[in-house]
A and B are shown apart, each in its own frame.
Chain A
Amino acid sequence: MELVREGAVHRAAYIDPAVFALEQERIFRRAWLYVGHESEVRAPGDFVRRRLGPEEVILVRTETGALAVLHNRCAHRGALVASEASGRVRQLRCPYHAWTYRLDGALLGMPLPEDYAEAPAQGLARVPRVDSYRGFIFASHAAEGPGLAAFLGGLASALDNMADRAPAGTLTRFGGSLQLEYRGNWKMFMENAVDLVHPGFVHRSSVEAARAHPEALGADGLAQQGAQMFLANGMPAREWREVPLHAFAGGHVYMGGFYRAGVIAPQREDPAFREYREALVGRHGEEKAAAVLAVDRFNNLVWPNLSVNARFGALRVVKPLAADRTVVEVHCFRFDGAPPEWEALTLQFVNLAASPASLVASDDLEIFERCQRGLESAAQDWIDIRRGAGTDRPEPDGSVRGAGSSELAIRQQFEAWRRYMAP
């Protein structure tokens, strides 16, 4: 059955476990998926455990300095080989019968090899493709397909912008992680992040709370950043319409900025910012530094499951667990060479906008759960995604620009979905 048609999506795309299983095969085993950052695996033997689509994997730096993504499944009896979230090891060893593997997954040995008529040779299974762009590591379960740069396409610019904001030229992951969960479909997060009509309604309570407390704008940095961010969600609909959306082949999309007051203002003039700008000019020269700082975008989505907030040094990775269950993991990055205030800005951004306790994100999670419940209704099968279709403006490179109030991004994501889901 065709689940996507002109301007509409069938509700089965969100609620049917069979569709979810097919998505895992055809999207999450085909696309490039973010797996980690170079700063997490600097030295040989450094590893982190991750989920890559439907699989438990280990991202590891091998003896030769190369990157490998290994399935976290012992070749012998199938136990998880790595149980810690991260660490540094010389070899990987299964806790069950001590089968031991080289960092690239090759089998080194096991106890009692003489008990085998023919020595086993199978090591840890490797994810076939691993590549890195500006320090961001992606992997694909598909042995063949477009390369990472081609996959990222127009959204490579978001990763460029985050890396370019570091005066020393590198980013370092810091601050641990935060995970949000909701009883709803993974696509809702990706759609909502670039649906610019929802903030005025979904986030109204935090807008009103900030309006009721103007003194928060004059309080400490954190309350100030919070109040500014909450108030920005209260923009009138016609101003949201002016926020540009730019959607690319493959379902990637970014939205322009809408919140640029106070601590994140590009024209800040305080000593810490002057120091930062000088350091950035030192790296890039005056012209490029100005261009890097002028990039004014909020959410940058690499479809199917990565959201990049370059200016704030934050990534959100969407992990689909079931048709009606999703976890979103937040990672923070230090702009190496920037004053320490920048770390605080990043932590505060996540705290205010992306924690499960956030006055903003908690209402999004609530709405996702209500959508999931509502879509169980068999009364209407089709979900309307036509808003603003008349304002879509195709560009020569195949991308499409549209007004902020448009559902362009959702249409583009489903166009990508349809292509991936084809047999």
Chain B
Amino acid sequence: MSAELHAFVLDEARLLDERRFRDWLALFAEDGAYWAPTRPEQRSPHEALSLLYEPRALLALRVERLERPEAHVQTPASRTVHHVGGIQVLSEEEVRSSLVMAEWRAGETRWFAARVLHRLRREAQGLRIVLKRVDLIDSEAPHRALAVPF
């Protein structure tokens, strides 16, 4: 069980690096959501601002856009490495990890570091993401345009 969850988290990150965004989206449960709060102590996306809070229906628009040629912020496209480490399987449904993401785009490399929480559910097709929460260590700092999910 633990090995499966471990592998799931690594595979999820790899899909982003390979820009297989539709496959990545398919990992989210119908009621799943992606959330990057502005503060580590934030309990809900409805009490304070978030960098990004997207239930699956909105995430589908993000993914759709990432592949469109008119998306200026992805012309040229980013190249990323999501380095996932410190994976800690807390239960059958919860995995904690550390993430360092390097992003190369338009002549420049940017770095992001975050604590990540995956809340998962076992469905007929396999494990699905109910919530992926990404706490950037500098979540409340000014950020330039963010396009590719962490």
Contact = CB atoms under 8 A, between A and B. Distances in A.
Contacts of B147: 357, 362
Nearest to A354: B49
B3 interface: no
Given A177-B140, A179-B142, A208 B68 contact: yes
A338 B143 CA distance: 32
Contact of A174 (B38, B48, B53): B48
A357 B70 contact: no
A174 B49 CA distance: 9
B65 interface: yes
Contacts of A177: 38, 49, 140
B65 A359 contact: yes
Given A216-B57, A366-B72, A205 B65 contact: yes
Contacts of B50: 347, 351, 355
Nearest to B149: A357
A13 interface: no
Contacts of B140: 176-177, 179
Interface stretch (A76-84, A185-193, A217-225): A217-225
B36 interface: yes
Interface residues of B, number: 35
B71 A363 contact: yes
A178 interface: yes
A220 B46 CA distance: 14
Secondary structure at chain A's binding surface: helix, strand, loop or mixed? Answer: helix
B64 A178 contact: no
Contact of A223 (B58, B65, B141): B58
Nearest to B62: A359
A325 to B, nearest CB: 10
Contacts of A359: 61-62, 65
A367 B72 CA distance: 8
B15 interface: no
A290 interface: no
Interface in A178-236: 178-183, 202, 204-206, 208-210, 212-213, 215-216, 219-220, 222-223, 226-227, 230
A351 B53 contact: yes
Given A227-B61, A362-B145, A175 B49 contact: yes
Q: Which bracket fits the contact residues of A? A: 35 or more
A204 B143 CA distance: 23
Contacts of B38: 176-178
Given A209-B65, A230-B61, A357-B36, A351 B49 contact: yes
Contacts of B54: 222
Interface in B40-61: 42, 45-55, 57-58, 60-61
A247 interface: no
B61 A178 contact: no
A213 B67 CA distance: 14
Contacts of A361: 145
Interface of A: 174-183, 202, 204-206, 208-210, 212-213, 215-216, 219-220, 222-223, 226-227, 230, 327, 329-330, 332, 343-344, 347, 350-351, 355-357, 359, 361-363, 365-367, 369-370
Given A183-B144, A208-B70, A357-B146, 5 more contacts: A176-B42, A180-B144, A205-B65, A205-B70, A357-B52
20 contacts: A175-B48, A176-B38, A178-B49, A180-B142, A205-B70, A212-B64, A213-B64, A216-B57, A219-B55, A219-B57, A223-B55, A223-B58, A329-B142, A355-B146, A356-B145, A357-B146, A362-B73, A365-B73, A365-B144, A365-B145
Interface of B: 36, 38-39, 42, 45-55, 57-58, 60-62, 64-65, 68, 70-73, 140-147
